[in-house]
Homo-oligomer: A and B are copies of this chain.
Amino acid sequence: MSHTFIAGAGMVRFGKYPVDVTFEKLAAGAARSAMADAGAAVADIEAVYVGHVFGGPVAGQRVTAQLGLSGLPVSNHENYCASGATAIREAWVAITAGLYDIVLVIGAEKMTDRVSGGVMPDPTDLDAINGMVMAANHGMSARRYMYDHGATREQIAAVAVKNHAHSVHNPYAQYQRPISLREVLDARVIAEPLGLLDCSPISDGAAAVVLCSAKGLAALGHRSAPRIAGCALVSGSTVTSAASINAEDVSRRAAEQAWAITGIGPADVDVVEMHDCFTIAEIVRLEGLGVVPHGEGAKWTASGETSIGGKLPVNPSGGLLSRGHPVGATGVAQACELAWQLSDRAGDRQVEHAQVGLAYCKGGTVSGTDGGSVTVLLVHR
């Protein structure tokens, strides 16, 4: 059993790129940046783990061939919006098993060429066929949350205001200007009560990390680096999904697995990168994890407790809402942000004195379950 460290992190700025900026170019750009950050040469990398959804067959091998990393073990991992996080998890397992000392993990997606008007649900998803598409689901979640906890529309909208304020300081974010509460409230309605600025955008982008065993870390000349304490993975359950749209049983189970693997508890977490595909999702998932008290998430957000400087800063990167959401890249981008936060390299969005970071991804829906896949990654100094 070996520990796993994040020796380097790199991204290309998330956004909308023209057709000739391909999946391969975005992914290779992030990989080069992470390798440079780690001080890792081509010859140092032993294996490559790639997360993507829309890149097509052997997408990772097309990227590694461009990087001069050809010939290595390359595996492609898909778990919808948790694909990048799943790739990190498999790499962590392989290092834990003692199979490798230095590996590259890449998450990438070129969405603007392929996706228009939002990611479509699977054609066999009976819930979606009957109208429960992503936005509708989260709109209902918001209404129920407001009813159950007396939360206001403004408190939910405050998630978007906060995350956009954070990413003003993130050079890799798709959006880097602050937005006002008024702008969120006045935006075009998507699924009542949620409007356009409550929804994460369609994005292109890539992120990469170099993961190492203790031996690999020393070989690259590092004395220390943020360490992956563990990564949980669960899928949605058919048993519990009917309880309430905001039951978040899948988040609770993922958190419990993460605490069990790592010995870290919810009170230890200092900074969170949360899968805020919609504003309300950030709130209910924080509560599902148990890092924010049940029913308090909206209030915490509105009063600044989840802002940088607050009790538990959430999405200092800007999150999916403002850093952007190239689906396969998101989980790896979260890991980049935690690596930078936990080595005091996050610039003007640094969370002071953060010791433990948590990243949460949720990927896909499956008819009759409370989600496709959920990952919880725990990283500490």
Contacts and interface: CB of A to CB of B under 8 A. Distances in A.
Interface of A: 1, 22, 24, 47, 53, 56-58, 61-62, 64-65, 68, 70-80, 86, 89-90, 93-94, 96-99, 122, 124, 232-239, 250, 253, 363-369, 372-373
Contact of A65 (B62, B234, B238): B238
A12 to B, nearest CB: 19
A98 B96 CA distance: 9
Contacts of A79: 58, 74-76
Nearest to A72: B235
B124 A58 contact: no
Tell me how many chains of this kind the complex includes: 2
Contacts of A368: 65
Given A58-B79, A78-B76, A93-B97, A235 B122 contact: no
A53 B61 contact: no
A297 B359 CA distance: 52
B73 A235 contact: yes
Contact of A77 (B76, B80, B93, B363): B76
Given A58-B80, A93-B93, A74 B373 contact: yes
A52 to B, nearest CB: 9
B71 A234 contact: yes
Contacts of A61: 235-236, 364, 366, 369, 372-373
B1 A58 contact: no
Closest 5 CB pairs of A and B: A97-B97, A58-B364, A71-B237, A58-B372, A73-B233
Nearest to A261: B99
Nearest to A50: B78
A364 to B, nearest CB: 4
Contacts of A366: 58, 61-62, 65, 70
Contact of A239 (B57, B71, B73, B234): B71
A94 to B, nearest CB: 5
Given A22-B124, A57-B364, 4 more contacts: A70-B239, A71-B234, A75-B77, A96-B99
Contacts of A65: 235-236, 238, 366-369
Contact of A75 (B56, B233, B369): B233
Contacts of A93: 90, 93-94, 97, 99
Contacts of A70: 235-239, 366, 369
Contacts of A76: 77-79, 86
Nearest to A99: B93
Nearest to A375: B73
A75 B58 contact: no
Contacts of A62: 122, 124, 366-367
A278 B253 CA distance: 46
Contacts of A364: 57-58, 61
A216 to B, nearest CB: 16
Contacts of A367: 62, 65
A376 to B, nearest CB: 11
B236 A72 contact: no
Between A57, A71, A75, A99, the greatest number of chain B beta carbons within 10 A of the residue's beta carbon is seen for A57
Contact of A1 (B78, B98, B122, B253): B98
A71 B1 contact: no
